[in-house]
Amino acid sequence: MEAMRILLVDDVHLERMQLAMRLQRLGHVVEAVASGHEAIEKYPLFDPDLLLLDVSMPDMSGTEVAEQIRIKHPDWVPIIFLSGHDEPEMIAKAIDMGGDDYIVKPVNKIVLAAKLKAMQRIAHMRHQLKDTTKSLEQANEKLSQQVNEDGLTKLANRRYLDSKLAEFISWHGRNNFPLTLIMLDVDHFKLFNDHYGHLEGDRCLQAVATELKKNFSRAGELAARYGGEEFVIALSNCDKTRAVRECERLKLCIQQLEIPHSKSTTADIVTVSQGMVSWVPTGLETVENMYEIVDRVLYKAKEQGRNRFVAAEFT
């Protein structure tokens, strides 16, 4: 059975040292402190498997320490009280105050060893439970990521975008803050795919997505794949003046990728067209309506020659 980390709390120096030595000889890791306040301070740092706690201490009783630890640290760790009193009422009170067992002083070696074996089994099961819980949390996190993530670009997918944009609209409407929505489209992407092949087409989209993730990953910013070669960026608390700067920055970032596009009638590298709308929501707008509006603005950018952005106010 694996060794336990035991936090020993006893204000009597000699008894504390003697018991600490016994525990160490049994193969456990021991942290011994002299007061309840020290125990409360040391507890989260030491992360014990077991707390051996003297009931009668001058600064703070053992039951008070146990009560504080149970409140501050919901992750249950067994507590064994130590006391020179063997009255049934005292034992019952100690258990009611958060204890799991009770040992009468002077501590009998055989009794101590037996109780520690029982606690080792509990500690082992507790560690297994924590490991299982951690594995489940990691699995759930991965599953959640897969559900909300576009498989090719690793950006947020359309499903997650719809959900977050609805939240953005509602929150900005309640707080009277400006919201910006940018829709961008890779220029002449069908020609790129036909000429370079679908594998290179995928790599192109991935490169654009990486640039979006790099530039729009702060709190209140969301970059997502809308579908095909179209992407959407939502910017919280962003007015038209700032949004124009973001569109200019994004245009330059994509150009600096210098992805060759010999079949483009706009440039010899991959470029993007952008439609942008900034407004202060009422909170009543629908996600579908906002997509329609920003898509129309994007279409104007394409009509005007591509590799540019068109900004519009929504009222």
Q: What is the mean pLDDT of residues 21-29?
A: 92
186 touches 211 (CB < 8 A): no
pLDDT above 80 (res 207): yes
pLDDT above 90 (res 118): no
**CA distances (Å), 258 to each of 151, 154, 262, in order?**
24, 21, 12
* pLDDT value of residue 223: 97
Q: What confidence category does residue 97 fall into, taking pLDDT thresholds of 50, 70 and 90?
A: confident
Q: What confidence category does residue 53 fall into, taking pLDDT thresholds of 50, 70 and 90?
A: very high
Instruction: Pick the range with the lowest mean pLDDT from 138-152, 197-211, 214-228, 255-269.
Output: 138-152
Q: Which of 31, 38, 149, 229 is catalytic?
A: 229
DSSP of the chain, one letter per residue?
Answer: ----EEEEE-S-HHHHHHHHHHHHHTT-EEEEESSHHHHHHHHHHH--SEEEEES--SSS-HHHHHHHHHHH--S---EEEEES---HHHHHHHHHTT-SEEEESSPPHHHHHHHHHHHHHHHHHHHHHHHHHHHHHHHHHHHHHHHHB-TTT-SB-HHHHHHHHHHHHHHHHHHT--EEEEEEEETTHHHHHHHH-HHHHHHHHHHHHHHHHHHS-STTEEEEEEETTEEEEEEET--HHHHHHHHHHHHHHHHHT--B-TT-SS-SB--EEEEEEEE---S---HHHHHHHHHHHHHHHHHTTSSSEEEEE--
pLDDT above 70 (res 211): yes
Q: What percent of the chain has pLDDT over 70?
A: 96
206 touches 263 (CB < 8 A): no
pLDDT above 60 (res 315): no
pLDDT tens digits, one per residue of 58-84: 889 998 999 899 899 888 899 999 988
pLDDT above 60 (res 143): no
* pLDDT value of residue 8: 95
CA 247-252-255 angle, 5° bins: 130
Q: What confidence category does residue 224 fall into, taking pLDDT thresholds of 50, 70 and 90?
A: very high
Q: What is the mean pLDDT of the chain?
A: 91
Instruction: Pick the range with the lowest mean pLDDT from 129-133, 165-169, 214-218, 302-306.
Output: 129-133
Q: What is the mean pLDDT of residues 214-224?
A: 93
Q: What is the mean pLDDT of residues 227-252?
A: 95
CA 83-86-90 angle, 5° bins: 80
Q: Which of 134, 127, 131 is nearest to 2 (CA)?
A: 127
Q: For residues 262 and 123, which has the higher predicted lDDT (pLDDT)?
A: 262
pLDDT above 90 (res 226): yes
230 is catalytic: no
